[in-house]
Structure 1
Amino acid sequence: MINLIWAMDENWLVGNNDKLPWHFPKDLTYFKNVTKDKIVLMGDLTYESMKGYYKTKPFPFKKIYVANLIDKVYEDAILVKDVNHFLKNNNEEIFVIGGPTIYNLALPYADRLYITFVLGRFEGNRYFKKFDLNDYQLVNYSNTDSLIFATYERRKH
């Protein structure tokens, strides 16, 4: 099963120079609760950005895959050079956690989407590519303060 998890504002903004453009502790807690001890896939820029947040602490994930077209050795992660091949041929439950390029590559394979809708418009330069949410069915929903937490599952055709 392929899961994507991300937060975006009303303009589908997801980042600002590889950082979050907002700080909502409830969203960070939600992200940690959903992805803790899970297998994750992220791009190299997201990996480096998260390393900046975690500093010397280990990531809270069961296994980490990092997508990068360049041969690179990661001390705590496994290199993935072909995201499409990886997602087509992997039987693990994967959580895709960023960034926009990796989300775009993974979306056609996604079984479930965990989207935090951040109410408002923020400054940034990294956007989620718009797509039709009608391909998915809303299965869970909650809101708090300026956030809407929504879970969608792909509709069966």
Structure 2
Amino acid sequence: MSRHGAVAAPSAEPGHRGERSPGTARVGMIWAQTSGGIIGNEGSMPWHLPEDMAHFKNTTWGHPVIMGRRTWDSIPARFRPFGGRTNIVLTSDAATAAEATSVGAAVVHSPQEGLETAAGAEGADEIWICGGGQVYEAYEPYADTAMVTVINIDAEGDTRAPRLPESWKLVLSEPAEGWLTAANGTEYRHELWERS
């Protein structure tokens, strides 16, 4: 992702990306999931994979990130807001809004307001959506790219990865075949999906 500029206005038709001029920002969604599509359970991730946390940091560093209240709450207090990035929290919860604002995050009340706030932030050539489930669903119509870490485990969970429509295509997998192996023995791979 490497385009620069402001975010395009959304299309009036749900589920379809609005037309973008050549200079508009790229909007990416980023998440990790089990092989079965689970991304969370009771406000946390049902795995421990430091390599994926490093991947998330490297991918989003220097760019605004947008998240919902549950994702914000799931981040340990000592790690929020994420450093090196404008943190934008989409919430209508007054307590979360006050806490997030007090530590330097921006608070917004609609997906469009989130994109407008991100467009004015440093590194806005790329805007990253980082959860949770309802937030991914809200931003999928705006997104160009999905960066997905697939973790080769089975786990119970109450939050599933977004279902990408048929207009999304897998364009890159690392490794191309099989799995990477984490230091703790967990198998995983990175997938890049793009809207065609």
Provide the TM-score with structure 1 as the length reference: 0.85
Question: Aligned letter for 1:147?
Answer: Y
Match of 2:191, SS state, is strand
Residue 52 (structure 2) aligned to one of 27, 37, 41: 27
Residue 121 of structure 1 pairs with residue 149 of structure 2 = no
Distance 1:41 1:89 in 2: 10
Amino acid at match of 1:30: H
| Sequence identity (%) | 27
| Counterparts of 2:52 and 2:142, CA distance in 1 | 24
Residue of structure 1 in register with 2:37 after alignment: 12
Higher relative contact order (CA 8 A, sep 6+): 1
User: Are the counterparts in 1 of residues 27 and 127 from structure 2 also a CA contact under 8 Å?
Assistant: yes
User: After the TM superposition, which residues 131-146 of structure 1 pair with which residues of structure 2 at under 5 Å, given as runs?
Assistant: 131-132=164-165, 134-143=166-175, 144-145=180-181, 146=187
Question: 1:89 & 1:38 partners in 2: Cα distance?
Answer: 12
Q: Counterpart in 2 of 1:110? A: 143
- Gapped runs of 5+ residues in structure 1? none
| Displacement of 1:90 | 5.8
Displacement of 1:151: 1.0
Counterpart among 78, 101, 108 of residue 106 in structure 2: 78
Q: Does 1:36 align with 2:61?
A: yes
Unaligned residue ranges in structure 2 (runs of 5+): 1-25, 182-186
Question: Structure 1 residues 129, 136: CA separation in 2 closer, same or farther (over 3 Å shift)?
Answer: closer
Instruction: Determine if contact 1:70/1:81 at 8 Å carries over to the other structure.
Output: no
User: Quick one: distance in 1 between partners of 2:80 and 2:163?
Assistant: 34
Runs of 4+ in 1 over 3 A off after TM superposition: 84-92
Distance 1:77 1:5 in 2: 19
Q: Does the 8 Å CA contact 1:87/1:106 hold for their aligned counterparts?
A: no
Q: Is the 8 A contact 1:104 1:128 kept in 2?
A: no
SS in 1 for 2:171: strand
Q: Distance in 2 between matches of 1:138 and 1:148?
A: 13
Counterpart amino acid of residue 85 in structure 2: K
CA–CA separation in structure 2 for the residues paired with 1:58 and 1:86: 16
Find the counterpart in structure 1 of residue 89 from structure 2: 66
Residue 150 of structure 1: aligned partner: 191
Which stretch has the larger CA shift, 56-65 or 75-84? 56-65
Q: Let me know the Cα RMSD of the aligned residues.
A: 2.1
User: Does the 8 A contact of 2:81 with 2:105 survive in 1?
Assistant: no
TM-score (norm 2): 0.69
